[in-house]
Homo-oligomer: A and B are copies of this chain.
Amino acid sequence: MAPVRNARVIFNSIPAPNTYPEPGKTTVYDDSQKIDPETVPLHGGFLVKTLVLSIDPYMRGRMRDPSIPSYSPPYPLGKPLSNFAVGRVLRSEHPAVKAGDHIYGYLPFQEYAVFTDPAQLGDVFRVLENKERLPWSAYVGVCGMPGATAHHAWHAFADAKPGETVFVTAAAGPVGATVVQLAKAAGLKVIASAGSDEKVAFVKSLGADLVFNYKKEDAKTVLEREGGIDIYWDNVGGQTLEAALDAAHVHARFIECGMISGYNAEPYAPKNLMLIVGKQIRINGFIVGSLYPKYRDQFYKEIPPMVASGQIKFSEDRSHGLEAAGEAILAVQKGTNNGKKVIVVAEDE
């Protein structure tokens, strides 16, 4: 087989704080490299063909000056981006994987990659069985990191009791949508917000009791009218967090998953933190990786069958080809995507 294109998406420049990443500037598509999948040396490792890449809100935090510490490593300039992905093993010299296996883990934003570091196996890559024959893209969404985020933190922090009320933000995204469905299954009243009428309709179809378009209705007004909340799933922070504090019942639980309202703009600072004391609120910030050891096995046992049976629904917003990555990243930061954003790099042949 002759060498084939091995296109990549390079992290090209650090966006200024409080600005959106710019396709073509922050990231650039590069198709200058080639690879021969049949002959590339494996050095005891394996060769992966990238099938589907996840585009997630948290990636904005990795596009930073490397001198700024944070929970996730900064993307190195001049190198391909990387993120959760599913790939197919084309060749392997490593005993843990074999040609034909589908693996889930961090992959670079390129069409083919050779992994030679044995430390990258095990906890880093997971061989997917997919007995349920789900589309591979589901394994970067509802059955991947975003689904695990919802599932693990809901079990760890919600202390949900039937009849309580939860407020879920960014509820049309893969995390929020999964939380909505877990909460309904647990017998809660679910109030949810999303940023377009189309998203609102999708979240309603998941069974949420009340869904509103936060660009048209004010969270504070809605939450007060609905009589307050016991659990707040925060994906957005800022003014919505302030409204949730105002509407919180005594002993409310706040699950702090993300604060996207402050990722690309000066964060709004809630003025009512004093309510944390008086209302005896518990707030849990978390990164899903810390919860894997306790919840991951349960997740892979429970969630894919529920997705296959339709008990848990999901929606996807697919782009095709690595050329689309820059715009996809921007869409996820702006919320103009509809459902879990994925880049289909190659169909599974």
Contact = CB atoms under 8 A, between A and B. Distances in A.
A279 B71 contact: yes
A267 B274 contact: yes
A111 interface: no
Interface in A215-259: 237, 241, 250-251, 256-259
A321 interface: no
Contact of A241 (B71, B273, B283): B273
A307 to B, nearest CB: 26
B241 A278 contact: no
Interface in A259-316: 259, 262, 267, 269-287, 290
Nearest to A266: B271
B282 A285 contact: yes
Contacts of A274: 237, 259, 262, 267
B278 A61 contact: yes
A32 interface: no
Contact of A273 (B71, B237, B277, B286): B237
Interface residues of A, number: 33
A70 interface: yes
Contacts of A237: 273-274
A257 B280 CA distance: 9
B278 A269 contact: no
Interface of A is mostly: loop
A257 B276 CA distance: 9
Given A283-B282, A283-B283, A285-B282, A277 B250 contact: no
Given A71-B250, A283-B283, A273 B269 contact: yes
Given A250-B71, A267-B271, A271-B269, A277 B290 contact: no
Interface in A69-90: 70-71
A257 to B, nearest CB: 7
A285 B290 contact: no
Contacts of A71: 250, 278-280
Given A71-B280, A279-B285, A280-B71, A273 B290 contact: no
Contact of A280 (B270, B276, B278, B286): B286
Given A71-B250, A241-B273, 13 more contacts: A71-B278, A71-B279, A71-B280, A256-B276, A256-B277, A259-B273, A269-B270, A270-B273, A275-B285, A277-B286, A279-B285, A281-B283, A282-B282
22 contacts: A71-B280, A256-B276, A256-B277, A257-B277, A258-B277, A259-B273, A259-B277, A267-B271, A267-B274, A269-B269, A269-B273, A275-B285, A276-B285, A277-B285, A278-B285, A278-B287, A280-B285, A280-B286, A280-B290, A281-B285, A282-B283, A283-B284
Pick the 9 closest A-B CB pairs, nearest first. A269-B269, A276-B285, A283-B283, A71-B278, A277-B285, A269-B271, A281-B285, A259-B274, A256-B276
